[in-house]
Amino acid sequence: MSEQFDFLVLGGGIAGLFFALKAAEHGRVAILTKRARNECATRYAQGGIAAVLAKEDSIEAHVADTLNAGADLCREPSVRLCVSEGPERLRELCDYGVQFTRRADGLLDLTREGGHTRRRVAHADDLTGGEIERALIQACDERENIEFFPDCTAVELITLEKISRSAGRPNRCLGAYVLRPSGDIDTFLARVTVLATGGAGKVYLYTSNPDTATGDGVAMAYRAGARIANMEFYQFHPTCLFHPHAKSFLISEALRGEGGILRLKSGETFMEHYHPMGALAPRDVVARAIDSELKRSGDDCVWLDMTHLPTGYLIERFPNIHATCKAFGIDMTSQPIPVVPAAHYQCGGVDVDLDGQTSIPNLLAIGECACTGFHGANRLASNSLLEGVVFGHRAAKKAAELMDTPLDAIAPPWDAGEAVPSDESVLVTHNWEELRRLMWNYVGIVRTNKRLRRAQRRIEMLREEIREYYWRFNVTRDVIELRNIADVALLIVDSALRRKESRGLHTTLDYPDRDDSLRRDTLVTRGEIERPF
């Protein structure tokens, strides 16, 4: 079966939905989500969206904070674009119905997070992402030419290069093969295909990300021949709840912004030894500091202390975090919260220009799966939702320019070959667990060449096993996701081996210092991956 649309959006987070609303002014839009329509990383974003909205703030101050957090690897034009366009995009979110928390005078209640020198983070209590998802999905439902396809998983991108060997025909993206809930794989064709698939936190054993974060956009784009950038920079959020039954609950950076204190088991503070901003240092600094203290002490976690703040204020300002911690037997008003770092945000991704255009014509990438250069070597807190709306808007303008692209009906149907139903699903489970534990142990917050090479060799073996399984048996969502995280894992390892310095989120004991002669993006395309020794 074949579906045809003007715009095909893979992913239903803030970037994909914002793009869809803008693109719907020019044509028909399909939005594919792997699970429920609102199941994505945006939904779980607690802190907020950073934008220059206060009189005492300035564009230059936000630019400077972003460049500083990014460890001198941000692309400054991207930073200035996002920061300058941010206030208008936030106003558009309000127009779409997002209810941000406001003060008694009606102005937005702005908070401060790590790495920011001003209060500039707009929020909806501590459930900002959920409120944004609610409003944008409702706005999409009001557009007749936007159609959702939940529980659908993209298998592979369709490009002219893949389906046609005709000389002289320029390559471009035609759409994607999509696994339906029925198990059928259908063809979705579009003038423009947009990757808005989010990050890849599930490549690590411990993550704040939902189960959907399996690096699908990056993996598919890489296999299609697109240029990938800066995959060595994976951000570990310093403070995820440490509890045996808390799967991936994030303790927002806003708690530290409002006065939270990081302590050791003994009650001692420690962040003042690592950075002048203390607990409000950029995330890479705080995560490394916690990792170092835990390795030194042998403790399982550190503690985020909010008990010196008024009880009523904590319950009102952080209702979701307070209720969730209480459900796990932790009263944040009278007890410190046990926290540990966990994989949180992919700063690299599919390399794009200032319009979200990838190196493959008619294939755009936005949001966490894209590398716009905005985040550099470390993302500043609450800049992710900002990037999503700014590049969602710009990509929609670019997509409108591509409306004269013909809708091709030439893509062949999916060829399952001689695949049969699987009787070896245990291989998927085993490889999934081994891969994630391998990445956590060898490619985590602090790295060495020895660990990276060991990970590289094992990942290559796992990829071979996965490749054989993929072609032998019928495709399932679990197999697709396993294949994708294996490809992303290798990209992370390869990029880390290429960067022979420590910068931002990439810390290696073999090259502990920053080397400004290496202040450039790490770019990889299909066929360039290093082979293991």
For residue 167, count other CB atoms closer than 10 A to its CB: 5
Give the bridge partners for 370, in sequence order. Answer: 350
- 375 DSSP assignment: S
The helix (H) or strand (E) run that includes residue 227 is none
Q: Tell me the C-alpha distance between 432 and 244, whole Å.
A: 20
Contact 97, 402 (CB under 8 A): no
3-state secondary structure of 5: strand
Degrees (nearest 5) of the Cα angle 75, 79, 85?
145
Using alpha carbons, list the distances in angstroms from residue 524 to 199, 350, 408, 454.
18, 10, 29, 20
The DSSP bridge pattern shows strands 302-305 and 337-346 to be antiparallel
Closest CA to 480 of 169, 177, 120, 99: 177
Catalytic machinery residues = 283
Contact 139, 148 (CB under 8 A): no
User: The tokens of 463 are what?
Assistant: 């990829």
Contact 126, 46 (CB under 8 A): yes
- 403 DSSP assignment: T
Rg (CA), the chain: 22
Closest CA to 85 of 517, 483, 389: 389
Q: What is the DSSP string of 353-364?
A: -TT-B-SSTTEE
Q: Which residue reads 């149907």 in tokens?
A: 413
For residue 406, count other CB atoms closer than 10 A to its CB: 8
Q: What is the 3-state secondary structure (H, E, C) of 424-436?
A: CCHHHHHHHHHHH
CA neighbours closer than 13 Å in the CB half-sphere of residue 418 = 1
